[in-house]
Structure formats: structure tokens, C-alpha cells
Structure 1
Amino acid sequence: MSDDVQPGHVRIRLDLSYDGSHFHGWAKQAGGKRTVQGEIEDALRVVTRSRDAGYELTVAGRTDAGVHARGQVAHVDLPAGVWEEQREKLLKRLAGRLPKDVRVWSVGEAPAGFNARFAALWRRYVYRVGDRPGGVDPLLRNHVLWHDWELDVEVMDAAAKSLVGEHDFAAYAKKREGATTIREILGFGVSRRGDGVVEIEVRADAFCHNQVRSMVGALLFVGDGHRGVEWPRKVLDAGVRDSAVHVVRPHGLTLEEVAYPAADQLLERQRQARRVRVRTV
């Protein structure tokens, strides 16, 4: 494994957030589709007056189209001279250049061994659902899914807890060639806010494609009484996609937080994260 910063460059950590409503996800795409990565990289080139530079961001979690982020983290390797010239003014210049639906909150030199993706300990997502008969508050419509059945939060929470631990989540993931579907969920719970919005919060070291939205779909079926509390775990143990598990719409999902270890543990964390996971039982 090698993640060395090239000579003459400095690794910079960026903490950022965005409203994903009008983005085609995080990652750059062919055909000129608007993406978060594309907007930030373009802004970096402009504000550093390095229009021909191939700055490329590495991100903690590659969110899909329509998914939001409040606590996203990325890194980019900048030429040392550019960083020295821009370090005191880069944040404000980015604020002036970026569109209003994406904000960079901090930029700074990353410690040795930092990698926004592979050094992360865990990612925490929250999916928000409204089940009021009249629908969702119009001011929250781009961030809260309306479910037109009343939800039993206690039953949903119990079902969520049954999925905690390291498992093969093939039943809840969109399979990618050569990629494992084994993941470890560190925490999974459901609660109702004072304003009635249901929050489904899940924390894991990493997630498969569509995993969170598929698990939320299963919990909604439990919460509205269409399935029993044991059903999400039965689906997991079956190990195959269940046609009854729906991938819910993306706009209710927000990446809330990414955690990293102490600086002296970053390289070891990268080593662990890059290992190929296999089933042990």
C-alpha cells in the first residue's frame, strides 16, 4: 500500500457540506453533469489561478445523486508553492466562487498518513421521514421523505438493532464486480424528533452501494406494519436481494459525520480499511 504525497506537494483536508438536490452525486461524470466534486475542483483551479492543474479530490463518502452531506471530508494534494500563497485566503476565495448549495467550512494541512477515504473510522448517516397525514413541511421537502402510513418507531428501532455487527449485506446492496458486500454496522437506531420527523441513524466503517437506502426501505415496511420486526434480519440472513425491499428515494439521506483516528494511527487505519473482507463463518 502506498499513499505518499508527491514531492513538492502538500495534502490539504477540506471539511464541507452540500445540498444534493441539484447534483448528480459526488463523483465527476462524463457528459457535463453537475457534480459536487466537479464544482469544487473547478473552483480550486480558478481561485488558485491554476486552470490547467489536474487537482483531484478524494472523498470520505461518495454520495449518490440527491443525497446531502453536512459533515463530508475530502483531501487534495496541492503544489507547496500554491498552498503557501493561498493558505490564508483560500477558504474565503472558495466561498466567493462556489455555488450556494455547496460550502467548504475549513481547509488545512493534513497530518502524515491522512487519507479522507481510507483513514476514516466510520461514517454516520441519518435518513429523515415524515409520516403526518398532511405530508411534510414544505420547508423540509428536499430533506424529508413523506411516508403515507403511520410509523411505529419502537418496532423500527428493534429491527434496526438486529442488523448491528459485521455481516454480509448482499441482500441490501447493489453488487459491484470484484467488491465485497461484507460491512460492519457499529450503530443503528430510530427515534422521533419533537417536530414529529422520524430519524433513522446508522453508523458503519463503510457502506455498500444503496445499502443505507435499502435498509431504510425495510425498516419502513416494519414500521407501518407490513412486515414483522424479525423480517429485516431474515432478509439479511437469506443473503439475496428481496424484491420486497425498496431502495427509498435519496433526498431523505444526509451524511452527517466522518470520524478519524489520532494522527499516529492514520496509517494503521488505512491498512485495515484496504484489506479484503471475507466471511469467517
Structure 2
Amino acid sequence: MDTTRLRLDVSYDGGDFSGWAVQPSRRTVAGVLLEAFARLTGPDVELGLTVAGRTDAGVHATGQVCHVNLPSALWESLRDSLLRRLAALMPPDARVRAITPVPNTFDARFSATFRRYEYRVADTVYGPQPLRRNDTLGWVRPLDLDRLNTAAEGLVGLHDFAAFCKRKEHATTVRAITRLDWRREPDGVVVATVQADAFCQAMVRSLVGAMLTVGDGRRDPGWPAKQLTLRERSSEVTVAPAHGLTLVEVGYPDESEYADRADTTRRLRA
């Protein structure tokens, strides 16, 4: 059967989802997306839903990317209305923002060159603003931006992040962080930006948790980098709460490089 591959740009408030991946008897982002498609295409169409990164329970996204495969005839019949129909069928805390036909060499997961996350922290005495309470962590101690950025510098680059990951059997914990920095927004909120080729489970929140103990003065700025010498999960690293974390962007190469990038990524992961 002739199929058309579609890139979907997706946003969601992760607060009421048990993460991205489908789980029995649990509400997940992939679950509600597949349910919406099933009402349009019928339950027998195999979509091959593939996501750039499986976010954990409670984590948000403004720039998630996934792909599906639709029978080409079905795509042609839905082309002008699919985005609008999905908006009507999906819950208000999950949206498909764009649908783009892409070459079959595009792989939302393996063709990606980077994932970028942001983590928001309010260290004001009164805590997060009410309208941002669902995506901003309240921190009771004042945070020093210079200390946070000094700690971040020691974590940039290619390292084994075993101390900051939940290890999975036969999976590598070696990752290449290309950007890690902190800024203070005009409203006073401190925001960490973390970018890497990929992340292992709980890695971003563990990095944030470690750096926050530096920012509030409880740890030395060099302490997070020292954890990189460990080859197992560090019991001293606290995982920051999920609700402060948002996946904001997934990067891809030019479409002529989709297949090569996917092959390279698969070899790296192996």
C-alpha cells in the first residue's frame, strides 16, 4: 500500500498525562493522539507513530515532533481538514500544531540532531506566578546565576552521564551536551536551557536538581561535574520535579540528510 509520511508538531501540558508512551489504563499523550486518529482513519490503519523523545509523566512540550504513515489516498482526502479535525477530537491539553508531508527517510526519533529543553524555577519569596504554577518550580532559597552557570560549564561536552540517568539494560548513558546555561527572565524566573543529541531517562531533571543545590549555596560549583566520574546512578543527585520541564525544540538536518543522520544515530545508540 502506498503511504505518505507526515511530520506532526505537537504541544501538550503534561500535568495530567502519564508521559508520552501508551500505557494500559493510563492517560498518555500518544494514547489520546492515537485515539483521535482512529476516529478519523478507523482502528485498522497502522500509523507507525514514532516520537522524537518520550517525555516522562508531568513533563510538558511546546516543540515535540512525531511522525505517522497514512495511506496516500486517505491523506489526500484529509489533507485540507486533518489539522482542524484533530483539534476537535483531541483534549484541550494536547494539540497538533502543524502537519507536514515529509520524505519516507524522515524519522522523528533517529533523524533528529538535537533536543532542547527548558526548566523554569521561581526563587522569589512568593513563589511562581499563579498562571505559570504548572510549568514553573518554586524554590525557597535564592539562586545565584553565576554559580549556576559555573556548574553548568563543567557538564557541557561528551560524557558518560550514568550518575544522572536511570540506567536501562543494554543502553548507553554517553551523551553529548552542546548547550547548558541559565538566564534570569525579566519576571525574575530563572530558566535553564539544556540541549543535547539525545537524553537518557531523568537526565535533564537530574542535572537541574544537581545544579540547583549549587545555585542556592549548598554545593560547590564543581560538584556536579565530579559526578561524571561515577558509572552508576548517584544517590546524592536529587531529581527535580517534572512540572518545571518543557521540551521546546527538536532539530533536524536538511531533508537530503535524513537517512544518513538516522543511520548514524542508530549506530551510536548501538
Query: 2:88 matched to 1:91?
Result: no
Deviations 1:187-208 (A, max 9, x none): 1001110101110110000001
Residues 135, 244 of structure 2: 8 Å contact kept:
yes
The SS at the match of 2:247 is strand
Alignment of 1:165-180 (within 5 A): 165-180=157-172
Report if aligned partners of 1:91, 1:105 keep a CA contact under 8 Å in 2: yes
State percent identity of aligned pairs: 50
Deviates more, 1:179-188 or 1:267-276: 267-276
- Paired residues for 1:181-196 under 5 Å: 181-196=173-188
Q: Which moved more, 1:237-246 or 1:32-41?
A: 237-246
| Aligned AA (1:134) | Y
In 2 relative to 1, CA 130–110 (structure 1 residues): closer, same or farther, beyond 3 Å? same
| 2:3 corresponds to 1:21 | no
**Which amino acid in the other structure matches residue 154 of structure 2?**
S
TM-score by length of 1: 0.93
| Separation in structure 2 between the aligned mates of residue 43 and residue 196 of structure 1, nearest angstrom | 39
- The one-letter amino acid of 1:44's match is F
Cα distance between partner residues in 1 of 2:263 and 2:49 = 20
Shift of 1:137: 1.2
Residue aligning to 1:202: 194
Counterpart Cα distance in 1 of 2:232 and 2:224 = 12
Work out the CA distance in 1 between the residues paired with 2:51 and 2:162.
24
Q: Which residue pairs with 1:47 in the alignment?
A: 40
- Deviation, 1:277, is 5.5
**One-letter amino acid of the structure 1 residue matched with residue 19 of structure 2:** G
Q: Measure, in 2, the Cα distance between the counterparts of 1:99 and 1:229.
A: 43
TM-superposed CA distance for 1:153, in Å, is: 1.0
Match of 1:267 in 2: 259
For 2:235, the aligned partner's letter is S
Tell me the CA shift for residue 51 of structure 1.
3.0
- Determine if contact 1:131/1:151 at 8 Å carries over to the other structure: yes
Aligned to 1:12: 6
Shift of 1:111: 2.1
Distance in 1 separating the partners of 2:62 and 2:133: 17
Tell me, which stretches of 5 or more residues in structure 2 are unaligned? none
Alpha-carbon distance, 1:135 to partner: 1.5
Letter in 2 for 1:169: F
Cα pair 2:162 2:230 within 8 Å, conserved: no
Output the CA distance in 1 between the equivalents of 2:238 and 2:174.
20
Aligned counterparts of 1:277 and 1:22: Cα–Cα separation in 2: 31
Q: Secondary structure at the match of 2:237?
A: coil
The 5 A counterparts of 1:54-73 are 54-73=46-65
Match of 2:129 in 1: 137
Query: d(CA) in 1 for partners of 2:221 and 2:140?
Result: 19
8 A contact 1:162–1:233 mirrored in 2 = yes
Unaligned regions of 5+ residues in structure 1, if any? 1-6
Query: For 1:275, what is the secondary structure of its paired residue?
Result: helix
Give me the CA root mean square deviation: 1.2
Amino acid at match of 1:69: A
| Cα distance in 2, alignment partners of residues 185 and 99 from structure 1 | 34
SS of 1:228's equivalent?
coil
SS, match of residue 266 in structure 1:
helix
> How many Å apart are 1:272 and its aligned residue?
1.1
Whether the aligned pair in 2 keeps the contact of 1:112 and 1:263 (CA below 8 Å) is no
| AA matched with 1:214 | S
Give the residue type in structure 1 aligned to 2:161. F
Q: Is the 8 A contact 2:4 2:104 kept in 1?
A: no
Paired residue type of 1:43: A
CA distance in 2, matches of 1:111, 1:52: 23
Match of 1:122 in 2: 114
Residue number among 200, 215, 230 corresponding to 1:223 in the alignment: 215
Count of residue pairs the alignment pairs up:
270
The one of 31, 37, 48 equivalent to 1:38 is 31
By how many angstroms is 1:52 displaced? 3.1
Question: Which residue, 221, 241, 246 being the options, matches 2:238?
Answer: 246
